[in-house]
Amino acid sequence: MMKTGITYLMCLAFMLIGMPLKAQHIIRGMVADKETRESLPYATVSVVGTSHGVVSDESGNFSFEVPQLPVRLVISFSGYQADTIDVTSSKTLTCLLKPDIKNLNEIVVVSGTLKEVSRLQSPIPVDVYTPALFRKNPSPSVFESLSMINGVQPQINCNVCNTGDIHINGMEGPYTMVLIDGMPIVSSLSTVYGLAGIPNSMVKRIEVVKGPASTLYGSEAVAGVINIITKDPLTAPRLAADFSATTYQEYALDLSSCWKKKNISALTGLSYFNFSNRVDYNADNFTDVTLQNRLSVFSKLNINRKSKLPASIGLRYVYEDRWGGEMQWNKNFRGSDQIYGESIYTNRLEVIGNYTPAGLPHVQADISYNYHHQDSYYGTVPYLASQHVFFSQLRWTKKKGSTDVLAGLPFRYMYYDDNSVATASADTLHPVNEPHHTILPGVFIQTETTLGKAFTLLSGLRYDHHNHHGPVFTPRISLKYNLNTNQVLRVTGGSGFRVVNLFTEDHAALTGAREVIIRNKLKPEQSWNVNLNYAATQTFSSGYLNLDVSAFYTYFTNKIVGDFMTDPDLIIYDNLSGYAVSKGVSLNADFLFASTLKLMAGITAMNVYQINADSAGRNRTPQLFAPRLSGTFALSYTVPVLKIATDLTGRITGPMYLPVVPNDERPEKSPTFALINIQFSKTVGKWEIYAGLKNLLNFVPKHPILRPFDPFDRNITVDNPKGFTFDTSYNYAPVQGVRGFAGLRYTMN
């Protein structure tokens, strides 16, 4: 009996021990964005038909037990399409969610008001673009990627060295302020070169504010702001890699990785681009594309504090060696008058950071610093320049009732030195080098008040004191009206200002092709702007539509514009004797017709000109490189059976005025042209393979260089009755025909 009882007890014990082992199954996994592979913190994971479920942690990871398998999971996250996964075994899951275009207005933005707010609730209209858009037409730099944004025009300013800047609503690059994580790291000397080399794998989204934003950001933010938001090291993929190549033999490598400890998380990115193939398809003996060797390293460190308050620092270093010119050129001819070439060495360092003291949760300190050194030769003309820009800002926020108050104490210091007349003393007999020191302290205040359920009023005022030009005031006001939950109307008005530095901003002033004349002491530029914006979301049975329409008008009381027309050998700069205008309308639309077909399209119509008062009366001059009509589109379709994504993207540009010379046989306006691209891609596990064609229509501008056979103007009297001289400023499109590309991406979460 005793033996039988012991046996019974042992069997019972084994049964009790074994039951939970057999009944409990652990499900682990992580939730991430399907397009960017960035993890989604605090996503909901639940088991269909039961009360079992969990919320992912701040890194997107989750783990919980279920009594039996198989089960069906539902994963959801605000702003994304929910997904369903059948789980049959206890394996680690990767749950990838698609962004829901219907919830585009719920994306949190910061650029409009310097505080986190949903796009729909922001009183300042902000356009938001994720890397998913730019992957439809992969490019080795953010500069080229911005061509896919309606109203934003990356403009190549030189046919030889291919440097360029970013135009917003027809206004030149120096009027656009470029930020990284809200910090003004690209300015003056780096406006031309600073956008190259930002690792695409580190970009979370790009926010674009069109219209003056000087009230918050100060000088340069006249046409608008482009804010590049980088990924959070806490949610970024552990490893992301992207390698691509083109039939032109352009090679690009983009890497990013992150690591996380208890109190620290870090994200490091590397971008490398190489193009060493001399190409001259238009047979003018000049390189069609500038040869480049560029390396950029970017690292971002976050301190994960118990208070959850921000504390981060970021570093970026960029080195670039680029040259363009006659096909026979090499570095032995750098600066000589034997073979023409334009050679640019760039070294750039950037530091950005922010910190909120634990005892002062409403105060944030921002800081940035950038150093830019440039060693260049444009033919025989040397341009050696160094620039230091230091920026700091204390921000204070407070909510009282229905009013949010934001106040700030910004300070900017800029040191600039070069070997041009820009830093030479006024004494022409005994010139002395005089580097520029710009000290620009300021103060701003902004209030945002909710008036009932439908109205929001934002007002702001900024005061800056320039050590050379004195005080500058820049006010701003905006009224937002919610017509209903899906429609918003905004009216915004404000002022912008900018202090001009020609030799750091206008590449044409640097080339040896023309002499620069500055007739009078250049004054700061000042503008006034009004913007009317309507945004709506409409849902249909077969899809939905997001619509955004804006009308803009900017009036310059002073503007510095180069005169290329009066004399073919000169560029004449002077203060505006009249006024300048940039006005127009833009339309953006996102359509989703079915789960596999999506269309994004935009069109901008504008008129940009200036009125000069002279002895003959008032003379109207159109703005160069400002097309009356332009548009962008991205059509995406996924073949359900093969799961191959097809993306057709393009930019259509209407006629724009170009810098022709007297008796120029080339047309004063460019033709209407389209740059259209197609890409096919397929995701297999952690890998994505893509390939396609750029410039499907094989459009190439004609005769971009005047007299390329005589770059040093030695023979202008020989067989040249119209007296033409070598000139590289007639440029409106890349001199690259149709070309193939292919690439491979890898993501480890």
Summarize pLDDT for 579-636 with one digit per residue, the tens.
889 999 999 998 877 667 889 999 999 999 988 776 555 678 888 889 999 999 999 9
pLDDT band at 446 (very low <50, low <70, confident <90, very high): very high
Tokens encoding 495: 């002022």
Q: Which pLDDT score, from 0 to 100, does residue 353 have?
A: 92
Q: Which pLDDT score, from 0 to 100, does residue 381 have?
A: 86
pLDDT band at 96 (very low <50, low <70, confident <90, very high): confident
Q: Which pLDDT score, from 0 to 100, does residue 18 have?
A: 47
For residues 684 and 711, the answer to whether their CB atoms sit within 8 Å is no
Q: Which pLDDT score, from 0 to 100, does residue 19 have?
A: 46
Using one digit for the tens of pLDDT, what is the confidence trace for 561-581? 666 666 666 767 777 778 889
pLDDT band at 662 (very low <50, low <70, confident <90, very high): confident
Q: Which pLDDT score, from 0 to 100, does residue 21 have?
A: 45
Tell me what the mean pLDDT of segment 668-689 comes to: 93
Using one digit for the tens of pLDDT, what is the confidence trace for 169-195? 888 777 788 888 887 776 555 555 566
Q: Is the pLDDT of residue 511 over 70?
A: no
CA distances from 132 to 195, 609, 737 (A): 19, 35, 25
Using one digit for the tens of pLDDT, what is the confidence trace for 3-59? 555 555 555 554 544 444 445 788 888 888 877 777 888 888 888 878 777 888 877
Q: Which pLDDT score, from 0 to 100, does residue 548 have?
A: 92
pTM, two decimal places: 0.84
Tell me what the mean pLDDT of segment 320-349 comes to: 93
pLDDT band at 305 (very low <50, low <70, confident <90, very high): confident
Q: Which pLDDT score, from 0 to 100, does residue 744 have?
A: 96
Tell me what the mean pLDDT of segment 526-547 comes to: 86
Q: Which pLDDT score, from 0 to 100, does residue 7 have?
A: 55
Mean pLDDT of the chain: 84
Tell me what the mean pLDDT of segment 716-730 comes to: 86
Which CATH number is associated with domain 102-224? 2.170.130.10
Whole-angstrom distance, CA of residue 622 vs CA of residue 609: 4
DSSP, collapsed to helix, strand or coil, labels residue 647 as strand
Residue among 669, 624, 732 nearest 172 (CA): 624
Whole-angstrom distance, CA of residue 462 vs CA of residue 444: 4
Q: Which pLDDT score, from 0 to 100, does residue 673 have?
A: 95
pLDDT band at 504 (very low <50, low <70, confident <90, very high): low
Residue among 473, 518, 476 nearest 497 (CA): 473
Tokens encoding 559: 């503007």
Tokens encoding 488: 């918003």
For residues 604 and 551, the answer to whether their CB atoms sit within 8 Å is no
pLDDT band at 366 (very low <50, low <70, confident <90, very high): very high
Question: Helical H runs in 94-173?
Answer: 131-134, 142-145
Query: 632 - beta bridge partners?
Result: 602, 651
Query: 65 - beta bridge partners?
Result: 26
CA distances from 209 to 129, 236, 290, 479, 527 (A): 12, 25, 31, 16, 16
Q: Is the pLDDT of residue 405 over 60?
A: yes
Residue among 264, 280, 377 nearest 327 (CA): 280
Q: Which residue has the tokens 């979370």?
A: 204
pLDDT band at 730 (very low <50, low <70, confident <90, very high): confident
Domains in the chain: boundaries = 19-98, 102-224, 225-415+431-748
Q: DSSP assignment, residue 642?
A: T
Tell me what the mean pLDDT of segment 432-452 comes to: 89
Other CB atoms within 10 Å distance of the CB of residue 96 = 20
Question: Which residues have CB under 8 Å from 189's CB, separation 6+?
Answer: 372, 374, 385, 387, 416, 504
Query: 487 - beta bridge partners?
Result: 484, 536
DSSP, collapsed to helix, strand or coil, labels residue 168 as strand
Amino acid identity of residue 91, one-letter, is K
Pick the CATH number of 225-415+431-748 from 2.40.170.20, 2.60.120.10, 3.40.50.880, 3.40.50.620: 2.40.170.20
Q: Is the pLDDT of residue 197 over 80?
A: no
- Please tell me the CATH superfamily of domain 19-98, with its number: Carboxypeptidase-like, regulatory domain (2.60.40.1120)
Q: Is the pLDDT of residue 205 over 60?
A: yes
CA distances from 165 to 90, 192, 242 (A): 53, 5, 25
Tell me what the mean pLDDT of segment 321-337 comes to: 94
Q: Which of 18-22, 222-226, 500-504, 714-718 has the highest mean pLDDT?
A: 714-718
The better pLDDT of the pair 597, 355 is held by: 355
For residues 735 and 288, the answer to whether their CB atoms sit within 8 Å is yes
Tell me what the mean pLDDT of segment 489-494 comes to: 92
Q: Is the pLDDT of residue 244 over 70?
A: yes
For residues 536 and 695, the answer to whether their CB atoms sit within 8 Å is no
Q: Is the pLDDT of residue 115 over 70?
A: yes
Q: Is the pLDDT of residue 278 over 80?
A: yes
Tell me what the mean pLDDT of segment 688-696 comes to: 96
Q: Which pLDDT score, from 0 to 100, does residue 237 have?
A: 86
Q: Which pLDDT score, from 0 to 100, does residue 121 have?
A: 81
Using one digit for the tens of pLDDT, what is the confidence trace for 387-400? 898 999 999 999 88
Q: Which pLDDT score, from 0 to 100, does residue 500 have?
A: 67
The answer to whether the 19-98 and 225-415+431-748 domains have the same CATH topology is: no
DSSP, collapsed to helix, strand or coil, labels residue 573 as strand
The half-sphere exposure of 336 on its side-chain side, counting CA atoms within 13 A, is 10
